A and B are shown apart, each in its own frame.
Chain A
Amino acid sequence: MADDKDVLRDVWFGRIPTCFTLYQDEITEREAEPFYLLLPRMSYLTLVTDKVKKHFLKVMKAEDIEEMWFDFEGTSLKWHYPIGLLFDLHASNTALPWSITVHFKNFPKCDLLHCPSNSVIEAHFMSSIKEADALKHKSQVINDMQKKDHKQLWMGLQNDKFDQFWAMNRKLMEYPTEEGGFRYIPFRIYLTMSDRPFIQKLFRPISPDGHTHTLGDLLKEVYPVAIPNDDESKRYQVVIHGIEPLLETPLQWLSEHLSHPDNFLHISVIPAPSD
């Protein structure tokens, strides 16, 4: 039986084959070829699309270029969600490669945040980690780290260095054995058909009477609709990193192994394919 460490590796090295095509209304000097790329599931769109930008700039005039943004089948893709989450949420049951449209005009200000530079992503990433640690350890671990340790986390993500990232991140995943888990599990549940961006609540890995909470317990508490009733067919898929863990999976284990680098467990609840 494989080791839990392999899960971390598999999760980290998850890639989504993507085809970037330029939006049809963009003005080009000659026809833009689509651009194919393996996107890391753990990273952020704007962090890994320098090559895409460079590719399309070659066929465009400088004055036609504003901030680059992406959409998938008409849905603007939020760069501040991890790529894997975007894919699971919007495109999980579509054919591969994932077809993303690239825009350089008409930035949808109401849907997306601006991302002028990588430092914005870094700030967003670090604040997520800090929020997660506040939930897990009352911020004790992240506050004990030095500036360079924070940097190491970020650089690990930016440069896709698994060892570098996990050398530091493991400290964020520790907890006192006698408590059996984190204080609260940092999680976010995303629904495609909802106005709310996501659901986030305080939820402990262990029940007051000492039982381990599972993914099912969490959903029952937070979004019971996602749990299929006995008599009906499955209406929703609960997807993390492109897989559907069983509802009896312990939440603490999920948090330790299937969290994104920002230390949140991003859970997508999407309608089950009708077929």
Chain B
Amino acid sequence: MPVSLLWAVDVYGRVYSLSTRGQQWEQCRDAVLEFKRVTAVQQCCWGIACDHHIYLNVHSSDVPIRYQEETFENQRWNPMDNFSDRLLPSDRWQWSNITGLEHQPLDSFFLPSTNWEWEGDWYIDENFGGEPTEKEGWTYAIDFPATYTKDKKWNSCVRRRRWIRYRRYKATDNWATIPSEGRSGPLPDPFNDISCGGWEISEEPRGRLSLWAVSLQGKVWFREGIHHHSPEGDGWEEVSLPGEVVQISCGPGDLVWAVLWEGQLIVREGITRDCPRGSSWVVVDSPNPEAGAIHVAVGDNVVWAVTKDNKVWYRRGINSYNPRGSGWIGMIGEMVMINVGLNDQVWGISCEDRAVYFRQGVTSNELSGKAWKAVNVPRDGDIRSHSSASSSSLHSAGCFFSGEVRAQSVMSEDSDTKNGPQRAVLEVGACPSSPPPDPPPVDPDVPKPRIPKVTSDSFISEMLSDRKVKREGATTEASLREADAKSPPLALVLSPSLSGGPGDPQWSNVDLEETQTHLAVGPAGVRGDAADTCSLSSVATYTLCQEEPYGADEHPLWAWVSGGGCGVDCHSQLNWFNSATALSSSVQSMSLSISPAQTAAWRKQIFEQLSERSKREMDNFKHYEQAIEQSVWVKKGAMQWWRDWKPHKWVDVRFALEQFSGPEGNQDGILFLYYNFNEEKKYLHAFINEVTILVPVLNDSKHTFAVYTAERTKQRWPIRLAAATELEMHDWLALLSVSCCDSRGIQGPPSKQALWSVTCKGDVFVCEPSPSLEACPYPTPCDQMFWHQVGGHLRLVECNSLGVVWGVGYDHTVWVYTGGYGGGFLQGLASSTDNIYTQTDVKCVYIYENQRWNPVTGYTNRGLPTDRYMWSDATGLQECTKANTKPPSPHWTWVADWAIDYGISGGTDREGWQYAADFPTSYHGHKTLKDFVRRRRWARKCKLTTTGPWQEVPPIPLSDVTIIPCGAQSIVEPIPLWAISNKGDVLCRLGVTLLTPAGTSWLHVGTDQPFKSISIGGANQVWAIARDGSAFYRGSVTAQSPSGDCWYHIPSPVRQKLQQVSVGRTSVYTVDQHGNLWFRQGLTPSCPQGSSWEHISNNVRKVSVGPLDQVWIIADKVQGSHSLSCGTVCHRLGVQPMEPKGQSWDYGIGSNSSSVQSPGCVQLPLNPSSVPSA
């Protein structure tokens, strides 16, 4: 889990953050102002400062926020001036946008705010759809709205070229002020509450957020246009309301709740992808009719509320169809506020001691959690005293908010809604369990000036006091009701909708119990007097007595907490609760390969003494007889076997592994498979030392794996076996794996020269290369290479010959190899004790909803008899309904519900439909008259949790990574590593050495378009493939200048879009979208870009070139004696220094039955990476 931050504001308005790895609150030093409230998401934190302005703190990232401005220069040919900027009157502007409709001269572009800066000047784009243009970048056409080509023809009458300039958001890690301006001028009144969320509503545009704010007058505003390239958004839009709002909360998805002055809650409905603002409000009653709600917090699927009496409530029955939920459940604990963060985790600030509490045990099955646990960590060292903080803020920010009394003066000067004398401090020293007494009628003449109100919420209480006149009636009524509340027993208070409802008797019983115990304890419990104030304003107010000293050693008093950016869940190991034990573990987690336990003296002592003991007790007595004779050990079991002959089917077999000591003392074994054939008992066997790979096989119903030997690899027909349970399969796999490794003398972690690969299922395999692997002229045949599994789950893996290994998961999470081995099902002996960590991966399962149009009812789910299933997979051949579609294998579990996928290529309409004339054709995102069928894609996320020798490299998700295959002789020499983020940014990793394989930080390398593949080879040659399929070479990359200086555009092979590139010592290979493998010719040290592409092979999925220019590919359609295989690892034979292209392919592991119906669908490695330099 990457490091993320919990944000909090203390009662003095100081902003602190607490890292999930950290053990102390770090004060946000650059917050020159005191803050009232903050609301955090992963990438940024919004806050309201004491000057009522909204501030935005965008966390800095190794990938900057940069926006590409573009404009087009248009010219027309005339016989006089040739091409010139003299256009026809009917033409577009000389400078325009791409459509030509808007006038856009270069000097019309301005920075959106002072938080931006230009990266450089305007320059001409010389890339035209993947093809390099002539030097000037002109593209030609017959007339303006027409197709452009890069070549000038006789009939080219007009031309245009594209100018680009980048601007960059510079105010990261800084509180940048956001002007309070609506569409029509400044907003009428200052802000009072703010809540950020909504990033799950839509991924378009990327990084989109919803920001809701509440003004002092109780109006609600929605900030438009916040997304990755516009972190500040455009402007405020008012949202109409049924009442006046005091506080609002917005979840990651479509939940938005707010609290009204009167104590009811309102729920926003109609929030969709197209309308993130929603359409209407629905009122929900307060959990306790006597005490209105004062605070609400929402997450993905939960709503928590706090009522005036500081009771905490949990809303039952919230889901995406019912944002209102069905009833309230009273919870233990008294809080002044609650915040819901990522994964529906809950934080609160206790009413008793003002400490931040974390709700433990919140899981997707038990969203209400189990218990509150105080976050008990110190604040960072030198805590500035309040006065110094405010005085410094006074100077630096020119703020007039500088002392205790000032808070009030600010208000009186600032707010025209105030009527001076009525403004007074309301403080009600009420114990929450006893009904608060009537607020004493405030006498304006009684001075109360010496009570400093330094709370972040003082504004609200003052607002309220202004309103007291208005609301006098209501207050008396409330107090009457409160008086009534005294007489009935302190009962469980449920909302009317729940009480008496037959729905959930257990729940209410439990809660009744909880509530009662708490109430019994409540009044007796020790309460800090100072913290015990509760104001009728219904909002947390904290008053400090002047006499009370507050120093640095005092325990922090918090006013606000926001966990919206804090990525924890109930499994996270947090060091927040017990400072003593936490220290060692945090140290452990930071060091990658050397943990303190390993270097401890006691451990060393045991190792030394044990080897001493062996010497003492055994060395001189080796000739003695052993007491126990070594015997054969047999493990038996029952399994199912995918029969070798037709009709293929699963048959029950008995399975046995016989292990014995081989002639040289090494372990060996034989695998037996006993079956019946025509009533006759037969068996099949395999020698353990001939097994080349054991692969778990993707199957949604059975727990299957495949056993390969060299012979079976040639046949492309492994022994396929299914165990009864997952556990049994893992036991067998672990045992067989250990047995195979033993028989080949392989122990411990993979060597530095190992070949790594991943299967299409995500399993990671390594192969120890034998010295003869590249031997000439008879290298080890590929099919005899032995691959064994290491734990973990990856989509791609990349290594160099020095033992630095990086991997990328399906969810683009980046992992670095820790030097351990085992994990996953390889536990116990097959696994190292250290360097094994939890690893998760998330991917989507897709199904398609298909419909056909008919003249009567339009589009319906009634197709023609010949049509595909109305719910199907992408091919339409398999029926896949929402209900019957399972996760890819039993290891995966669903983590979300089905959702429409709008991100499918070809585009969709607003409901996610894609249209076509008939089914198996190409789809487009809008309806035309010729379209008779439509489909839409549904996606559902599933998650896998495993363990392996991998540690996460946060925070930037990657789609590709490459490590220089050779180089670095010393352990501190930097190892060049390049990567492509999942957004297509090119990145160069700094600080990667043998000692620190994870490196330190990313250096962003600018490109004019997103990239998709990258490779670095010998002598720092960096090649990359852009999204448009063109190749680029990075110039002047050296050890001194690790990121190089500029990109050289290399034209791709004619009419081919390149997909992937791999660079060896001198060779450069690419694979295009049609599976062709291309070799770059003419590479010399003086001309590193080469001259042309030469076709080598087809049916290639992926290529990997080693440090000696060894070439490995994943090939499709390899013919075996039994079946055709997809995803076969192949090795290029005959690669010589003078013949880098080699001669022929040697086919290795990998097999796939050609029939989709086959239960044993093995697709093997995707990326055998570098090869030994032996």
Interface residues of A (CB under 8 A from B): 1-8, 10-11, 14-17, 36-40, 43, 48-49, 51, 96-97, 155, 158-161, 163-164, 166-167, 170, 177-178, 209-211, 241-246, 248-250, 253, 257-258
B1043 CB, min distance to chain A CBs, angstroms: 36
| A37 and B624 contact, Cβ closer than 8 Å, known pairs A167-B731, A210-B580 | yes
- Does B627 contact A159, Cβ atoms closer than 8 Å? no
Residues of B within 8 A of A49 (CB): 627
**In contact, B631 and A245 (Cβ under 8 angstroms):** no
Q: Give complex CA distance A88, B961 in Å.
A: 56
Contact status of A244 and B627, CB under 8 A, knowing A1-B599, A16-B617, A163-B829: no
Give residues 722-741 of B contacting A (CB, 8 Å): 731, 734-735, 738-739
Interface size grouping (class) on chain B = 35 or more
Neighbouring B residues of A40 by C-beta, 8 Å: 627-628
Indicate if the CB atoms of B611 and A43 lie closer than 8 Å: no
Asked if residues B628 and A167 are in contact (CB atoms below 8 Å), the reply is: no
Contacts of A253 in B (CB 8 A): 597, 603
Query: Of A5, A161, A244, which contacts B609 at CB under 8 A?
Result: A244
The answer to whether B630 and A160 touch across the interface, beta carbons within 8 angstroms, is yes
CA distance A258 to B611 in the complex (A): 14
A2 with B607: in contact, given A37-B625, A160-B630 (CB under 8 Å)? Answer: yes
B633 within 8 A of A: yes
Ranked nearest first, the 7 interchain pairs of A and B with the lowest CB-CB distance are A170-B828, A17-B621, A243-B609, A210-B581, A48-B627, A249-B602, A160-B628
Within 8 Å CB of B602, what residues of A? Answer: 245-246, 248-250
Tell me if B617 and A43 are in contact (CB < 8 A): no
Which A residues lie within 8 Å of B659 (CB)?
163
Tell me if A210 and B607 are in contact (CB < 8 A).
no
A38 to chain B, nearest CB (A): 4
Residue of A nearest to B610 (CB): A10
Bound: A40/B100 CA distance, A? 89
Residues of A within 8 A of B905 (CB): none
State the Cβ distance, A217 to closest chain B Cβ, in Å: 13
Given known pairs A4-B833, A10-B611, A96-B617, the reply for A51 and B601 (CB within 8 Å) is no
Q: A38-B627, A49-B627, A51-B627 are in contact. List 20 more A-B contacts (CB 8 A).
A: A3-B748, A3-B832, A3-B833, A5-B832, A6-B607, A7-B610, A8-B829, A17-B621, A36-B621, A48-B628, A159-B633, A160-B630, A161-B633, A164-B635, A166-B829, A167-B828, A210-B580, A245-B605, A250-B602, A253-B597
Chain B residue with minimal CB distance to A4?
Answer: B833
Q: B497 in the interface, Cβ–Cβ < 8 Å?
A: no
Output the residue of B581, B598, B731 with the most chain A CB within 10 A: B581
Residues from chain A with Cβ under 8 Å of B832 in the complex: 3-5
Q: Which of A4, A10, A38, A209 contacts B626 (CB 8 A)?
A: A38
Bound: A117/B496 CA distance, A: 73
Which residues of chain B are near A158, meaning CB under 8 Å? 628
Interface residues in B598-648 by Cβ distance below 8 A to A read 598-603, 605-607, 609-614, 616-618, 620-621, 624-628, 630-631, 633, 635
> Out of A36, A178, A250, which one reaches B625, CB within 8 Å?
A36
**Residue contact B735 to A167, C-beta cutoff 8 Å:** yes
B600 contacts which chain A residues (CB < 8 A)? 248
What is the CA–CA distance of A241 and B833 in the complex, to the nearest angstrom?
21
By a CB distance below 8 angstroms, the chain A residues around B609 are 243-245
Kindly state whether residue B827 has any CB partner on chain A within 8 Å. Answer: yes
Residues of the B chain whose Cβ atoms lie less than 8 Å from the Cβ of A7: 606-607, 610
Question: Which residues does chain B contribute within 8 Å of A250, judged by CB atoms?
Answer: 602
CB nearest to A164 among chain B residues: B633
B833 touches A51 (CB 8 A): no
User: Contact at B580–A211, with CB atoms within 8 Å?
Assistant: yes
Q: Which of chain A's residues have a CB closer than 8 A to the CB of B626?
A: 15, 37-38
B578 CB within 8 Å of chain A: yes
Chain A: minimal CB distance from B688 (Å): 13
CB neighbours (8 Å) of A1 from chain B are 598-599, 607
Nearest CB in chain A to that of B622: its residue: A38
Known A17-B618, A210-B580; judge A5-B601 contact (CB<8 A).
Answer: no
Which residue from B612, B614, B624 sits with its C-beta under 8 Å from A14? B614
What's the minimum C-beta distance from A34 to chain B, rounded to whole angstroms?
A: 12
1/0 per residue B77-105: CB within 8 Å of A?
A: 00000000000000000000000000000
With A11-B610, A51-B625, A243-B613 as known contacts, state yes or no: A209 contacts B580, CB within 8 Å: yes
Q: Taking the nearest CB of chain A, how far is it from the CB of B570, in angstroms?
A: 10
List the A residue with the shortest CB-CB distance to B829.
A166
Chain B positions within 8 Å of A243 at CB level? 606, 609-610, 612-613
* CB neighbours of A177 from chain B (8 A): 573
Instruction: Establish whether residues B828 and A166, one from each chain, have CB atoms under 8 Å apart when the complex forms.
Output: yes
Residues on B with beta carbons closer than 8 Å to the beta carbon of A51: 625, 627
A43: chain B residues at CB < 8 Å are 627-628
List 8 A–B pairs whose Cβ atoms lie within 8 Å, in order of A's numbering: A7-B607, A37-B625, A51-B627, A96-B620, A97-B621, A163-B739, A164-B635, A246-B605
* A14-B614, A15-B617, A209-B580 known; A248-B601 Cβ under 8 A: yes
Evaluate contact between A36 and B624: CB separation under 8 angstroms: yes
CA A248 to CA B832, docked complex, whole Å:
23
Contact, CB under 8 Å: B621 / A167: no
Within 8 A of A (CB), among B28-75: none
Known: A159-B633, A209-B580. A14 touches B627 (CB 8 A): no
Distance, CA A161 to CA B828, complexed state (A): 15
Q: Which residue of B lies closest to A178 (CB)?
A: B573
Q: A48-B627, A167-B828, A245-B602 are in contact. Are A14 and B617 (CB under 8 A)?
A: yes
* Nearest-Cβ distance from residue A6 to partner chain B, whole angstroms: 8
- Give bound CA distance, A206 to B1027, whole Å: 55
> Nearest chain-A residue to B613 (Cβ)?
A242
Which residues from chain A contact B578 at a C-beta distance below 8 Å? 210
- Give Cα A1 to B613, complex, Å: 18
Which residue of chain A has its CB nearest to the CB of B608?
A: A243
What is the bound-complex CA distance between A243 and B602, given in angstroms?
12
Q: Are B829 and A38 closer than 8 Å at their CB atoms?
A: no
- The answer on a CB contact under 8 Å between A96 and B616 is yes
Q: Which residues of A contact B613 (CB under 8 A)?
A: 10, 14, 241-243
Residues of B within 8 A of A258 (CB): 606
Q: Which of B597, B618, B735 contacts A15 (CB 8 A)?
A: B618
A167 to B618, CA, bound (A): 26
B829 touches A167 (CB 8 A): yes
Within the assembled complex, what's the spacing in Å between the Cα atoms of A8 and B828? 11
The distance in angstroms between the C-alpha atoms of A166 and B833, with both chains bound, is: 14
CA distance A38 to B609 in the complex (A): 20
What separation, in Å, do the CA atoms of A3 and B605 have in the docked complex? Answer: 14
Residue of B nearest to A35 (CB): B625
Query: Distance (Å) between the CB of B684 and the closest chain A CB?
Result: 24
Q: Which of B600, B631, B731, B828 has the most CB of A within 10 A?
A: B828
Q: Which residues of B contact A5 (CB under 8 A)?
A: 829, 832-833
Q: Which of chain A's residues have a CB closer than 8 A to the CB of B739?
A: 163
Instruction: Compute how far the CA of A250 lies from the CA of B605 in the bound complex, rounded to whole angstroms.
Output: 13
A4 to chain B, nearest CB (A): 4
Interface centre among B620, B627, B628, B739 (most CB of A within 10 A): B627
Among A1, A43, A248, chain B packs the most CB atoms within 10 A around the CB of A1
Chain B nearest CB from A236 CB (Å) reads 17
Most chain A CB neighbours (cut-off 10 Å) among B573, B631, B633: B633
Q: Across the interface, which residues of A come within 8 angstroms of B580, CB to CB?
A: 209-211
Distance in angstroms between the alpha carbons of A250 and B602 in the assembled complex: 9
Interchain nearest-CB distance for B958 vs A (Å): 28
User: Chain B residues near A170 (CB, 8 Å)?
Assistant: 827-829
A245 vs B602: C-alpha distance in the bound complex, in angstroms?
A: 7
Instruction: Name the residue of chain A whose CB is nearest to the CB of B735.
Output: A167
Tell me, in angstroms, the Cα distance from A49 to B625 when the chains sit together.
12
CA distance A36 to B602 in the complex (A): 35
Q: How far is the CB of A260 from chain B (nearest CB, A)?
A: 15
Q: Is the CB of A17 within 8 A of B828?
A: no
- B599, B618, B739, B742: which has the most chain A beta carbons within 10 Å? B618
Tell me whether B628 and A17 are in contact (CB under 8 A): no
Contacts of A10 in B (CB 8 A): 610-611, 613-614
